[in-house]
Amino acid sequence: MDSLLSSLQKIPRFDLGLWGIVFALALAAIAFLVIAEGRQFRRQGLGAPWLKLRIATLPILAVTVAVVAGIVRSSGISGMEALAAAYLTLFTAGPLLYFGLHWLCGKTLGLRAGASLHIACSGLLMLLIVPAVGHLLQPHVSEAGRARAESRINALPRGESPYVVAGARRLQTSVGAELWAIHLKARAGVRLDRLDIETPSHRNKDALRTSLPSSLCRNADDLHLLWLAERPLPTLHLFWTGPDGKAMQSTQQLVPPTGDASVFSVAWEADAVTLPVGVPGSVLAMHWERAGGSPIIENPSGIGVDCAPMRLALKDRHGLGLPRLLRLRIDLVPPQEPAWMDFRRPDGDSAPA
């Protein structure tokens, strides 16, 4: 229940209002069907037994669900097998119990089997109206919510970018490509709420919540670019909140770093390896090599939008020791395939025996 309430609190009020309207429409459709069905049975002189059985539909459904869940739980099955057993029980014992209870209650109230079956089927139909209407209108609600959010965020006042270039380097790689490493540092108290990344061919909106390109990452509220020199630098559209709590938007134009290019290298220590610049965690791979077999490969820092730690601790795997190789993927300009730059630990020239 707490997780459900937490999820609801994250939904914008505008979206909640739209879903409230959708729910009201679904309830109105159910009310219309109930009224029409009630008139039909009253014309046959069965208004009272129809009403009692219609009211009993929800308790009957609750009993059916409880019995199906009890059968699955008592079986001791877990995992995907439990899901398969739940579906099997739902479509076998579930209908027998649901329609059987309607028939039994209807017989007690003086209804024919056909009338009880009609009430049972129409009850299921009415219950399916809510998810059906929600599924039908969900794309429109989502689009309206996105349009509302876009209009509000685009209406934010513009100001000077709260970011300064704290470092910019040209780095030469062993695969022949040059990388530009640019560190954008946020002013104290600034919170980055959203980032749009614009290139000559595309604008990636809200990249912090969708996916950052493999050449850009976030460290707290700082940004690190590890950009292929062959590609035009992107324009960053920043949406942020200042120390005073005021929401603003800014545009950050980037310029190529100057000076001589230095070799991209890492510093190995006894129990760690230090990166020279901020690197997206998604492009790193740590290797534990095995004699006569494929290496064990692990991403050392996750694949989200965050940068890898500048100092990566080396994990000791039982039987394999410390990793002997760190690899960094460089996404070259298509149609070229991505290339890997290898950094081998000085004392790791050969795999363990």
Q: Which residue range is the domain that position 269 belongs to?
A: 264-344
Residue where a domain stops, chosen among 111, 133, 154: 154
Q: Are 133 and 52 in a shared domain?
A: yes
Instruction: Give the model's pLDDT for residue 229.
Output: 94
Would residue 75 count as lying in a domain?
Answer: yes
pLDDT at 61: 87
Domain end, chosen from 154, 182, 208, is at: 154
Whether residue 72 is found in the same domain as residue 8? yes
Q: What is the pLDDT of residue 75?
A: 67
pLDDT for position 82: 65
Asked if residue 149 is part of any domain, the answer here is: yes
Q: Does 352 map to a domain?
A: no
pLDDT at 196: 92
pTM of the predicted model as reported, rounded to 2 decimal places? 0.64
Domain count, the chain: 3
Q: Which residue has the tokens 């129809």?
A: 50
Query: Do residues 73 and 22 share a domain?
Result: yes
Same domain for 40 and 149: yes
Chunked in runs of 10, what are the mean pLDDT values of the chain (353 residues)? 52 76 87 91 91 90 84 68 70 83 90 90 87 83 77 85 94 94 94 92 84 84 94 94 93 93 94 93 89 84 83 86 92 91 76 38
pLDDT at 35: 92
Count of CA atoms in the C-beta half-sphere (13 A) of 40:
10
- Verify that 223 and 206 share a domain, yes or no: yes
Long-range contacts of 40-49 (CB under 8 A, 24+ apart): 41/115, 46/110, 46/111, 46/115, 49/106, 49/109, 49/110, 49/111
DSSP string, 273-334: EE-SS--BGGGEEEEEEETTEEEEEE-SS-SSSBBPPSEEEPP-BTTTBS--EEEEEE-PST
pLDDT of residue 351: 41
